[in-house]
Structure 1
Amino acid sequence: MTDTFTLASADDVADLTTFAQRAERLGCALMRLTVVGSHLAVTVCVLEKQGLLDSHPYVFGLRVFELSRDEGDLANNSELDVLIETRALLDRLARMNVTVDVPVAQARVPWAGVAAPRDGWVHGGSVGAAELIAVAKSGIDEVASANGLGTNIVTEVRRTVWTRRVGESGIFAGMAFAAFGLGFAREGTDDQISVTTNGSWTRITTARGYVLARM
């Protein structure tokens, strides 16, 4: 029998579709779907470490969606924790209603085994959405300027750009890139985005989703 999950409304379907489309444009070929209570947590890895010696942090995008609370739907949703292809999920969302068939599970990759702590987070200040967007756009331009210079040079430029710290908040520039690319930081707003830390983890929290980084 095919596993399914049932979202609470058509709005949740639309939001999940938008999130998956944005993630795919950032090169996130895989997504992790995890049911937590009556919610579906969808995680993507925007920036991934390349080996144990890589100084690049993991940078994750996380969006939470409400699931149907109907008794039968809750039973179907309760066991879900799977890594799937982003494109496969988009194909299913395009032809289904609130109940979605789970795509074929994919073999685990290193980032899927990296779990952020659920508690113990400490307030670390805030950062403006406008500042995040400016950092993201500047970084995108800088990385793009290295195209055509060879794989090793492009890789080093990406590492240099996205591991920079942002202002007083101290978050990685790669987190700004993820927040902008996934639509969590919106242009034309004066939102102040909360920053929290927990050991080697840093998290920014917006009304639309979370970005987490771990060295």
Structure 2
Amino acid sequence: MTVLHLADEGEAADLAAFLSRLLHYDRGAAVRLQAAGTALAVFGRPPSFEVLAIRAARLAKPYENGLDAGLDRTVSAGELLEAVDESAATAVVPDAVTGPPWAGVLPPRGGWTPEPGLPAPDALRAMVGAAVAEFRARTEELAPDLRTRAALDRIGRDIWSRAVGDTPLPVRAVHAAQSLGFLRATGEPALFSAAAWLRLRTPYGSIAVRRAGLGSLGVSVSR
């Protein structure tokens, strides 16, 4: 049995909250876990946003399981959530599942360069609120018989693919950050790039998204 010893109850609670939010968007969600030393990274992909969400957590002691120096496993998010014991600050790692395609292609570990032009946190939250309001208004303007999934998807693509400020980051990445609890009143977000990837990083988690039209450059492929 593989047990993760998180740094404290707060880390366990934050991990549980992240998993709960992922499951809100996909009851069958899977997450990829990578642990080395005292660092744990949890990767998930909420389908509504088409982004990769990354939640980092601190471990109380360096990860070790027999002769393995690190952990790299894709598991059920629901099973992992059930295995989190917040009071004990532990999580039993479930058995591996057949991972979805996204789990085999992750952003690079290093080589990230700061990107300028990201608006202030208040402006980011206001931008998401305005985008949500616009989506609702435009869908309500459609006649009921024209309010098809294809029509809603077209409106969504138009709104959520817009660039944030003077950056190449799409609005959907900021929407995902807010919906997953990463964009809070405290903590300054920052934007980074590495090859084909953009990463919106906050103290509470990161959102990674592929740049359009750059193919499969700069990715980490699972073994």
Q: Which one of the candidate residues 150, 169, 172 is aligned to 2:170?
A: 172
- State the TM-score, normalized to the length of structure 1: 0.80
Tell me the equivalent position of 2:38. 38
- State the TM-score, normalized to the length of structure 2: 0.78
Alignment of 1:30-179 (within 5 A): 30-47=30-47, 58-69=50-61, 74-75=64-65, 78-93=69-84, 97-125=88-116, 126-144=118-136, 146=139, 149-179=147-177
Q: Please give the alpha-carbon distance, in whole angstroms, between the structure 2 residues aligned to 1:19 and 1:142.
A: 27
Q: What runs of 5+ residues in structure 2 fail to find an aligned partner?
A: 212-223
| Matched-pair contact (CA < 8 Å) for 1:127–1:193 | no
Q: What runs of 5+ residues in structure 1 fail to find an aligned partner?
A: 49-56
| Matched-pair contact (CA < 8 Å) for 1:38–1:69 | yes
Once the 2 structures are TM-superposed, how far is the Cα of residue 164 of structure 1 from its aligned partner? 1.1
Once the 2 structures are TM-superposed, how far is the Cα of residue 181 of structure 1 from its aligned partner? 0.9
Number of aligned residue pairs: 202
CA 1:33–1:144 in 2, change beyond 3 Å: closer, same or farther?
farther
The 3-state SS of whatever aligns with 2:64 is helix
Once the 2 structures are TM-superposed, how far is the Cα of residue 214 of structure 1 from its aligned partner? 0.7
Once the 2 structures are TM-superposed, how far is the Cα of residue 114 of structure 1 from its aligned partner? 1.7
| Matched-pair contact (CA < 8 Å) for 2:188–2:203 | no
Once the 2 structures are TM-superposed, how far is the Cα of residue 108 of structure 1 from its aligned partner? 1.6
The 3-state SS of whatever aligns with 1:80 is strand
Q: Which has the larger radius of gyration?
A: 2
| Matched-pair contact (CA < 8 Å) for 1:166–1:172 | yes
Q: Please give the alpha-carbon distance, in whole angstroms, between the structure 2 residues aligned to 1:186 and 1:175.
A: 14
95-104 vs 109-118, which moves further: 95-104
Structural RMSD (CA): 2.6
CA 1:95–1:11 in 2, change beyond 3 Å: closer, same or farther?
closer
CA 1:192–1:92 in 2, change beyond 3 Å: closer, same or farther?
closer
> Deviation string for 1:26-45 (max 9, x for gaps)?
43722211113321101111
2-11 vs 111-120, which moves further: 2-11
